[in-house]
């Protein structure tokens, strides 16, 4: 099968910094490619769309799913992935982001970066002449949310008109879910303790995106109110990577925001449960829910592979 004839060039060369940067039909197309690549992989049909191409992976933040998904995904697409830790490159040890971008652009076909400061990704993309993929920053996590939307589509059949309740900290995953839901027409509620709301600028921009799709985006404090009518309950660790020093203090404020069986039963019957992982079992989510019949957490985790492949296939 010559899949190369079926993957459009319309997104070729584009950076993937945030779902906000893409039109609704472009997001839908990436999801379609991801699901098709998953089908081919499950059937053992080769799809070397990126044969001869190389992805540089800059990891300022450690990872399990992001690294494995990009590395395996690039292999399955017929290309090569090069892991670049802070010990391997000069970025952060004197060489500017600009110079790093200019050098890597001469040798690679794409760059994935997973780091702390979002501005670092923007700077890298500004100077790179090859696609830059945001593998996570403290502000946004777009590659995660492509996998999330694929998972919802697989389990619910459609996206528009569903309601997702995010229970917990208004963090980078919550931010990108706002953009993702806004683009595909899913309603989203973030239930979080006062003082832990999502970034106001992100919320405002997502609401602008939602004007086209009709999605309703809301932030409130009561998790029980948040899950009413929810088709998806989503949670994440209360203290994100780099916030470990705040974990004990946050735990006191977030105890009422645990996704447990009682909270799940307050959502729509058949609601699915999602978590971007890694999970602190017994904290933000109970074993009973995470290992229960309504959990799609590990389907969601697997879909990171297929989502990352889709992003690389359409942009590189």
- The 3-state secondary structure of 114-134 reads ECCCHHHHHHHHHHCCCCEEE
CATH fold of 3-140+303-315, please? Rossmann fold (3.40.50)
Q: What is the dihedral of CA 300, 217, 132, 134, to 10 degrees?
A: -50
39 is catalytic: no
Cα separation, 175 vs 139, in Å, equals 7
Give the C-alpha distances (Å, rounded to integers) separating 53 from 240, 241, 313. Answer: 33, 31, 11
Quick check: bond before 278 cis, omega within 30? yes
Closest by CA to 29, choosing from 12, 47, 52, is 12
Of 78, 71, 70, which Cα lies nearest the Cα of 4? 78
Tokens 């060369």 correspond to what residue? Answer: 13
Query: For residues 125 and 270, what is the distance between their CA atoms, to the nearest angstrom?
Result: 41
Q: What is the pLDDT of residue 248?
A: 82
List every span in the chain annotated with CATH 3.40.50.1370. Answer: 3-140+303-315, 144-301
pLDDT tens profile 197-236: 999 999 999 999 999 999 999 999 999 999 999 999 999 9
Q: How far is CA 242 from the centre of its chain?
A: 18
Identify the CA nearest to 187 among candidates 230, 243, 132, 151: 230
Instruction: Please identify which of the residues 20, 47, 65, 114 carries the catalytic annotation.
Output: 114
For the question of residue 236 being annotated catalytic, the response is yes
Q: What is the pLDDT of residue 95?
A: 87
What is the distance between the alpha carbons of residues 236 and 257, in angstroms, rounded to a whole number?
11
Instruction: Tell the residue number behind the tokens 């990872």, with chain if given.
Output: 63
Give 3's pLDDT tier (boundaries 50, 70, 90): low
105 CB neighbour count, 10 Å cutoff: 18
43 is catalytic: no
Mean pLDDT score of the chain: 95
- For residue 316 the two structure tokens come to 């590189």
Q: Which of 258, 255, 251 is nearest to 227 (CA)?
A: 258
Answer yes or no: is pLDDT of 2 > 70: no
Q: What is the pLDDT of residue 242?
A: 67
Mean pLDDT in residue range 166-174: 97
Active-site residue, from 65, 236, 275, 308: 236
Task: Name the band, by pLDDT with cuts 50, 70 and 90, for residue 22.
Answer: very high
Provide the H-helix boundaries in the chain.
Answer: 24-42, 65-76, 97-107, 118-127, 142-156, 172-184, 200-213, 223-226, 247-254, 261-265, 287-290, 297-315
Q: Which helix (H) or strand (E) element contains residue 218?
A: strand 217-220
Supply the CATH classification number for the domain 144-301: 3.40.50.1370
Backbone phi and psi for residue 306, each to the nearest 5 degrees, phi listed first: -70, -35
Q: Which of these is catalytic: 47, 65, 118, 141? A: 141
Please provide the DSSP assignment of 269-286 as one string. TT-EEEE-S---BTTTB-
> Quick check: is 306 catalytic?
no
Q: How confident is the model at residue 5 (pLDDT cuts 50, 70, 90)?
A: very low
Put simply, whether the predicted model's pTM sits higher than 0.85 gets the answer yes
Query: How is residue 86 written in tokens?
Result: 């802070």
The SS3 of residue 17 is coil
Tokens at 100, concatenated: 């790093």
Active-site annotation holds for 299: no
Residue 68 CA from chain centroid, whole number: 15
23 included as an active-site residue: no
Q: Which of 144, 187, 209, 231 is catalytic?
A: 144
What length does the chain have? 316
Q: In the 8-state DSSP scheme, what is residue 246? A: G
Question: Of the residues 231, 276, 306, 308, which is catalytic?
Answer: 276
CA distance linking residue 74 with residue 50, whole number of Å: 8
């Amino acid at each position: 099968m010559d899949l190369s004839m079926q993957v459009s060039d319309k997104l070729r060369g584009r950076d993937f910094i945030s779902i906000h940067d893409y039109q609704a039909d472009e997001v839908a197309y990436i999801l379609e490619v991801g699901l098709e690549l998953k089908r081919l992989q499950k059937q053992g049909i080769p799809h070397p769309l990126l044969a001869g191409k190389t992805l540089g992976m800059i990891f300022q933040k450690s990872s399990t799913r992001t690294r494995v998904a990009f590395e395996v995904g690039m292999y399955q697409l017929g290309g090569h992935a090069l892991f670049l830790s802070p010990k391997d490159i000069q970025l952060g040890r004197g060489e500017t982001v600009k110079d790093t971008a200019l050098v890597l652009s001469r040798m690679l076909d794409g760059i994935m970066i997973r780091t702390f400061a979002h501005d670092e990704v923007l700077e890298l993309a500004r100077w790179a002449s090859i696609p830059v993929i945001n593998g996570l920053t403290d502000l946004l996590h777009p590659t995660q949310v492509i996998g999330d939307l694929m998972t919802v589509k697989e389990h619910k059949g459609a996206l528009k008109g569903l309601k997702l309740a995010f229970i917990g900290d208004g963090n980078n995953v919550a931010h990108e879910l706002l953009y993702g839901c806004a683009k595909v027409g899913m309603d989203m509620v973030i239930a979080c303790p006062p003082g832990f709301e999502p970034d106001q600028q992100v919320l405002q921009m997502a609401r602008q995106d939602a004007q086209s799709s009709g999605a309703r985006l809301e932030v409130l404090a009561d998790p029980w109110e948040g899950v009413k009518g929810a088709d998806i309950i989503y949670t994440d660790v209360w203290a994100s990577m780099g916030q470990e020093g705040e974990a004990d203090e946050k735990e006191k404020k977030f105890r009422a925001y645990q996704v447990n069986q009682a909270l799940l039963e307050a959502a729509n019957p058949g609601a699915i449960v999602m978590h971007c992982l890694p999970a602190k079992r017994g904290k933000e989510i109970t074993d009973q829910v995470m290992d229960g019949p309504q959990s799609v957490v590990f389907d969601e985790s697997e879909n990171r592979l297929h989502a990352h492949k889709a992003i690389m296939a359409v942009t590189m």
